[in-house]
Amino acid sequence: MSEENKFNFEYICKKIITDRISLVVFLLLGLLVGIFVAIQTPQYYTAQTLLAPEQTGKSSLSESVENMLKDLEVDFNTNTSADGVYPALYPDIFSTKSFIVELFSVPVTLETGITKTYYRHLVEDTKLGLAAQAKRSIMKLFPKKKAATSGEEKLDPFRLTDEQEDIVELIQGSMACIYNRRAGIICITAVDQDPHVAASLVDTLQNRLKRFVADYKTQKERIALSNAQKALDESRAEYEKAKKRYTAFADANQDVTLQTIGTQLATLENELQIAYQHYEKRQKQLQKSRADVQYADPVFVQLSSPTIPNHQSGISPLTIVLIWVLLFVVLDGLWVVAIKERVSFTKSQS
C-alpha cells in the first residue's frame, strides 16, 4: 500500500465497499450495539417556566450608563445592600442541600396515574444509563461508610445517608434556575424521565422560590403585624374591662345623687373613652401592618406556565443507532485499510 493511498478518502471508501463481507459484519455489529445502547439509554423530558421578578428601587444612573451596563451584563438593578436576597442569588438557592432536601416529600403524579413522593419516584422509577450502571457496579465492590437506609421517613438533613446523598446529586443535575441579567428573566427548568413529573416539579420549584423570597422580604413586616395583633388584643381586653367596670358601677348607682358617686362615674367614663381610643388606634395600626405586608410581598410575573412536554429531550434512539453504525463503518475502514491490507502486504513480502 503506497503512502499516497494511506490517507486517500476515495481509496478507503473503495476498499470498504469492495470488502462487502467485512462491511456487512461491521454494519450488523454497529446496528446491534446501537440498538442495545439506545434501549439502555433513558429518555428524558424537559419542562420549564419563565418568571420576571419585580425590580425594587429606582436606579439613579443615566440611560446611557444603564445601556452600557446591560451590554456588560451587569445587574445594576440589584440593590444588594438593601436586599439580601436578589434575583442573581436565586440559582444559588436552588443548589443548596436544604432547598433540595425539602423536595423529597413533594407528592408527584406519574404518567400512569400513580402518586408517590418525589424521593420514592427517583429511587424506584429512575432508569440508569450505562455509565451510571457501571459506576454503581464498581461502587458495590467497596464497603459503605454509612448504612444506606431507604426512605425519606428517616431523613436527617444534618446527616444524609449514602442513598440520600445520591438522590441530592441526582436532583441537582435534574433542575436549574438561570437568571438572565440583561432581560431580567428567570428560567426554571426540570428534567425527568416522566413528563408529568417534570411539569409538576417545575411548578413546585417556582412556587417554593416565590414562597422563599416572599418569606424573606416580608419577615420584618410579618413580625410587626404579629406585634400589632398582640397590642390590639391587649387593647380590646382593656376596653372590655373598662366597659364592664363602668356599666357595673352605673347600674349599681342609678338612683344615687351623691357628688362622690357622680365624680367616680365620670372617672370611669373617662377611662372607658381612653381605652376605646387606644383600641381604635391599635385597629388602625393593625390595618397599616397588613398593608405593609402586602406591599412588601414581591410580585413575580409569569411569562410562561409549566406544561407537560410532548417530546423527549436529548438524543433520540434513532440518532444513537445511526451514530454507532457510523462508528462501526469507520472501524471497518480501519480494519480493511490499516490492519487487513497491512497483514496481506506483509505475507506477500515474506
* pLDDT band per the 50, 70, 90 thresholds, residue 233: very high
What is the percent of the chain where pLDDT is above 70? 75
Per-residue pLDDT of 305-319, as tens digits, reads: 888 888 888 788 888
pLDDT(295) > 60? yes
Q: What is the mean pLDDT of the chain?
A: 78
Q: State the DSSP string of 8-46.
A: -HHHHHHHHHH-HHHHHHHHHHHHHHHHHHHHHSPPBEE
Residue type, 239: Y
Lowest-pLDDT range of 117-131, 186-200, 226-240 = 117-131
Q: Rounded to whole angstroms, how far apart are CA atoms 271 and 277?
A: 10
Per-residue pLDDT of 162-186, as tens digits, reads: 888 888 888 988 898 988 888 888 9
pLDDT(59) > 50? no
Give the residue-averaged pLDDT of 1-26.
68
Per-residue pLDDT of 65-85, as tens digits, reads: 555 545 545 454 444 445 566
Q: Rounded to whole angstroms, how far apart are CA atoms 337 and 329?
A: 12
Per-residue pLDDT of 31-56, as tens digits, reads: 998 888 888 888 889 999 999 887 65
pLDDT computed for residue 346 by the predictor = 57
Lowest-pLDDT range of 6-10, 193-197, 209-213, 331-335 = 6-10
Per-residue pLDDT of 266-282, as tens digits, reads: 888 888 899 889 999 99
Residue 108 has φ and ψ, to the nearest 5°, of -130, 150
Q: Are 272 and 229 in contact (CB under 8 A)?
A: no
Q: Which of 117, 191, 193 is nearest to 151 (CA)?
A: 117
pLDDT(340) > 70? no
Q: State the DSSP string of 96-158.
A: SHHHHHTTTT-EEE-TTS-EEEHHHHHHHHPPP-HHHHHHHHHHTTS--SS----SGGG--TT
pLDDT computed for residue 196 by the predictor = 93
Neighbours of 209 (CB within 10 A): 20
pLDDT computed for residue 189 by the predictor = 92
Q: Which of 203, 178, 186 is nearest to 307 (CA)?
A: 203
Highest mean pLDDT among 132-141, 266-275, 330-339: 266-275
Helix axes 20-40, 130-139, angle to 10 degrees: 70
pLDDT computed for residue 80 by the predictor = 43
**pTM for the full model?**
0.65
